[in-house]
Amino acid sequence: MRVIMKTRYATPEFSAEPGQTLDLPREEALYLVDTRQAVLENEDPATGGTRKRRPRRSSPAEPGGGAEGETGGADGAGDPDGS
């Protein structure tokens, strides 16, 4: 799998500089991409590339990923009918 390095990278066998293209085993290439040390060769770094992005996790301030402006709750505050 071919990647373009964004950082310096070294193993006991070789080293690479930013901008250098490497052909690596799939597992090693995906590790470098996941840790943002490299991008896939066919990926455009300016637009985020072709890889599917993972959905964002909800923050602790938004349990269940609730959107801003939702009404209701355990105490009934915000219910339109006031019950």
Say whether 64 sits in a helix, a strand or coil: helix
DSSP-assigned letters across all residues of 1-61: -EEEESS-EE-SS-EE-TT-EEE--HHHHHHHHHTTSEEETT--TTTT-SSPPPPPPPPTT
The pLDDT of residue 52 is 53
User: Can you tell me which residue has the tokens 């071919």?
Assistant: 2
pLDDT in tens, the chain (83 residues): 999 999 999 989 889 999 999 999 999 999 999 999 999 998 755 555 555 555 666 656 655 555 555 555 555 555 566 55
The pLDDT of residue 14 is 85
